Chains A and B, each alone.
Chain A
Amino acid sequence: MFNTASELIKLCKERNSKISQIIIEKEIESSRLTHEELIEKMKEILSTMQNSAKYSLDKEVISVSKLTGGNAKKVEDYKNNNKTICGKLINSAMAMALSTSEVNASMGRIVAAPTAGASGILPAALLTVKERLNLSDEDLVMGLFTAAGIGEIVVKNATVSGAEGGCQAECGVASAMAAAAVVELAGGSVEASFNAASFSIINVMGLVCDPVAGLVEFPCSIRNASGVANALISADLALAGVKSFVPFDEVVEAMYKVGKLMPESLKETALGGIADTKTGREAWKRL
């Protein structure tokens, strides 16, 4: 049906549809699920996401390795009891992104979106706008279809694997998926969704994947927190009418090329970046 953003935008225009509607049509065609079954299946995805995004807000969740944890609760408490710098919305979003990351690192249940390492971003972004815009769960399910459509374009034309493309391909793409969904949920145009998605990837182009001791913990959870902020500000830029000078398909291609140019040491091998610091190396030895 479509392989690129430009094809998807064209389809949306021809059928006067939102991105989510086209993705749903495509999925029904290829999966043999009924409309109802498909929506029901996506509701289950949303429900897992909601649980993981809220789980660590009121308790200290520590990782299997015991290296990290407890940050979601810290940010949630800070937001509730302080004036903060960025305000309640961004702090709440970061707390939820950290929550899913901590659930993941403690062997809890999450939805890879598009990967486990970046799984905190999309749930946090959707739940944040749910509250901000008074949306229903049904609305958020539509947002998930839009996000999946953006992810699919990247999977087809580039990569979402940290081992292949660095963190830009995991957290960057998760932010792009979230940003596009948020724009649609806020009533923005199809083009605005893709502008937002472009901004999210551009903002972290070149971001390396350098997990300490090879574990999906630090700096991954911090980048989930910054990733949801990236998604939300990208959405606002696009909703304000700012356009990406370079279209999404080309941004994705650039991201892919940058990933190819990265040395192996910066692609999930834990041999470079933050992993290859005195503290990072010592943590690996201690495990």
Chain B
Amino acid sequence: MKDYSVFDVLGPVMIGPSSSHTAGAARIGKIARNLADNSFYKVTFYLHGSFAKTYKGHGTDKALVAGILGMDPSDDQIRNSLKIAEKKGIDIEFIEENLGYVHPNTAKIVFHYENKESFYVIGSSIGGGNVVITNINGTEIEFTGNYPTILIKYRDKKGIISKITTILSNHNINIATMKVTRENKIATMVVELDNPVENNTIEAIASLNEILYITGINPIER
């Protein structure tokens, strides 16, 4: 039987009203921010299912915006996030949309830039403040943001996995979980770690020839 911490039962400490519609939404926003280049001037939120139906009353809109501004789910400025975004000159747009066969509490967050293509992240809030990121700019993926996580896309070739794991081990990092998928000879790897992600680790992996994309994010508070 899975063991629980007392703080799983008494917690999270969060901004209300709903762990799934508010706390989870803030986490999806913050994970998306950490994956995106932060020079965006506009963000569009596509809200699906229960998010679309009840977002105003649950403050899901404010929580998502707070997240893309970098706030944690326990930040009591979440309720003012729309005003803060306005002051920062960031355009915010909400669109209710059917995103297909996804969890009822799902948001697609699109970051717009002045001089380059937009970038998007899709995530679902699955209860109790827990979230799953399911898509990054068209790449289907699955990670929770509960662990330090490295996301890598690379040209599939023999031995790459062992090169990556060697670098991690040389940086004294233990792997908690690892998932590799492949499409059209491009592999996507999600590695969840027991130790925080550091820039020099990311740089070391990025220097491998086959790497097309790499990003690392540290866990977002629940």
Contacts and interface: CB of A to CB of B under 8 A. Distances in A.
A155 B7 CA distance: 12
Contacts of B19: 112, 115-116
A287 B57 contact: yes
Interface stretch (A81-89, A99-107, A132-140, A247-255): A99-107
A64 B74 contact: no
A256 interface: no
Contacts of A23: 6
Contacts of A64: 17, 56-59, 62, 79
B171 interface: no
Contact of A108 (B7, B76, B129): B76
Interface stretch (A143-151, A196-204, A233-241): A143-151
A107 B80 CA distance: 10
A27 interface: yes
A169 to B, nearest CB: 13
Interface in A174-217: 177, 213-217
A262 interface: no
B70 interface: no
A278 interface: no
Contact of B1 (A144, A156, A217): A156
Contacts of B23: 116
A67 B17 CA distance: 13
A113 interface: yes
Interface residues of A, number: 50
B16 interface: yes
Contacts of B213: none
Given A30-B5, A109-B76, A287-B56, A104 B10 contact: no
Given A151-B9, A156-B1, A214-B50, A108 B56 contact: no
A144 B10 contact: yes
B114 interface: no
B17 A148 contact: no
Contact of B57 (A103, A145, A152, A215): A215
A261 to B, nearest CB: 21
B164 to A, nearest CB: 28
Q: Which of A145, A147, A155, A216: most chain B Cβ within 10 A?
A: A216
Given A161-B127, A163-B127, A214-B53, A107 B15 contact: yes
A234 B72 CA distance: 37
A3 interface: yes
A214 B59 contact: no
B10 A113 contact: yes
Nearest to B74: A109
Nearest to A1: B3
A15 B58 CA distance: 46
Contacts of B2: 156
Nearest to A161: B127
Contact of A213 (B8, B54, B129): B54
Contacts of B129: 112
B22 interface: yes
A117 B41 CA distance: 36
B209 to A, nearest CB: 39
A56 interface: no
A104 B15 CA distance: 7
A71 interface: no
A31 B4 CA distance: 10
B13 interface: yes
Contacts of A147: 9-10
List the 5 closest pairs (A to B, CB-CB), nearest first. A104-B16, A151-B9, A148-B6, A65-B57, A107-B79
Given A45-B7, A110-B15, 18 more contacts: A27-B6, A30-B5, A44-B13, A64-B59, A104-B17, A107-B17, A110-B13, A111-B10, A111-B11, A111-B13, A111-B14, A113-B11, A114-B10, A152-B9, A213-B54, A214-B54, A214-B58, A216-B16
Interface of A: 3, 23, 27, 30-31, 41-42, 44-45, 48, 63-65, 67, 103-117, 119, 122, 144-145, 147-149, 151-152, 155-156, 160-161, 163, 177, 213-217, 287
7 contacts: A111-B13, A112-B129, A148-B7, A151-B10, A155-B9, A177-B9, A217-B17
